[in-house]
Amino acid sequence: MTDFNKIRRQKFLDEGKFKSHEYRFKRTIQLYLEALSSNDVMAESAPSALRWDVASNSLELLLLYYTAGYPIEDLRAQLPEIMERFDTYINLEILPRNKNPPENTADTLEITQLDAYVYVFWLLALCKLLGYSEFIPTVMRWVDKTYKYNRGRDGLFENVVQALTGTHVEAPRVVLHAVPYRPLASATVRAPEERPALVKEFVEGWYKGMKPTYWHGAHTGGLYFGYWCLEAALVTVLWDIDDSSYRDHLVYPKDLVDFARQQHAVAHVDATDKPHISRQTGERCPYSGRWGVLESPGAFAQERMFKEGDVFPAAIGRDGQEGPVTWVVLMREDGGPTRVE
């Protein structure tokens, strides 16, 4: 057994395939970046397609490195450039329905399409799991570019977005892609003791449910970069679910979950002696997000959302009377710290 076989995270990838796939991804990205920077005449739609391929190939290369057993810190270092490449694509993309004449085609990141639904979850999951919460509003800006078709349609998606950002968008208890996502959606609304079994059910049915995606079955001859149920990892971390019953499943990225939990624990220890960012009644809100009134040490009540610039109102204080209070930030929409640095 080679060293590669000892560190790889999925059995479908041998060292030869890894080197071949890595070369193809890197070569494609290089060629397309060169084409975009050249003055060569190309079809009207070509630049957008090239920008998408640069971004998506960069993401898939990161997943290939995870599959190959690379350290999580190495993957973390790659994410900012990947996000920049997606941002370039999104900012320059003309939505199909906004073209002249309009095209009755779904947007690239329109979650009504399974491939796009998975991609958006992957992006959100990697931002959270790799410790780049500041990129989450950027991903949501991309999603909200097609707000009409993306928001308020899927209960699971909105539950996850609310857990990530504190921003609530009402949605029916409907899952756009019930197979395989229904158990995961249930895990976000059921009692804590029920959640591990539901996520386990989702993980076990995830690969079969991904059959319509473009990458399903790639290990038998395609450009395989790994099969990773990042959605389960994201929900596990956000809802603090005990993953002991499914953490050794082939498609569950347990190393990413462990990294995220370790980072959270370190941040929590580092932050415990730092005071919360707070403001008094009558002062303006410095950061959009969820704020609460501090009634006693560590206990918050009267939680509500405020936008930057809102004036904090009076509320019920520790004495049980309404009047001036101290408002404390619990979650920032920009992903920033909630304690004084």
Same domain flag for 185 and 228: yes
- Which residue carries 């690379």 as its tokens? 70
Query: Could you list the residue range(s) of the whole structural domain that residue 292 is in?
Result: 278-332
- Domain-embedded: residue 337: no
Same domain flag for 259 and 298: no
Written as tens digits, the pLDDT of the chain (341 aa) is 469 999 999 999 999 999 999 999 999 999 999 999 998 877 877 999 999 999 999 999 999 999 999 999 999 999 999 999 999 999 998 777 777 666 767 788 999 999 999 999 999 999 999 999 989 999 999 999 999 999 999 999 999 999 998 888 999 889 999 999 999 999 999 999 999 999 999 999 999 999 999 999 999 989 999 999 999 999 999 999 999 999 999 999 999 999 999 987 766 555 556 788 999 999 999 999 888 886 644 445 567 889 999 999 988 776 667 888 889 888 788 878 888 87
Contact 131, 76 (CB under 8 A): yes
Q: Say what the pLDDT of residue 75 is.
A: 97
Listed in sequence order, the residues at least 6 apart from 253 whose beta carbon sits closer than 8 Å to its beta carbon are 9, 66, 129, 228, 229, 230, 233
Q: Say what the pLDDT of residue 272 is.
A: 52
Same domain flag for 108 and 140: yes
Same domain flag for 92 and 229: yes
Q: In this structure, are strands 289-296 and 299-306 parallel, antiparallel, or unpaired? A: antiparallel
Longest dimension (CA), the chain: 72
Start-to-end CA span in the chain (Å): 48
Same domain flag for 257 and 325: no
Which CATH number fits the domain that encloses residue 18?
A: 1.10.3920.10
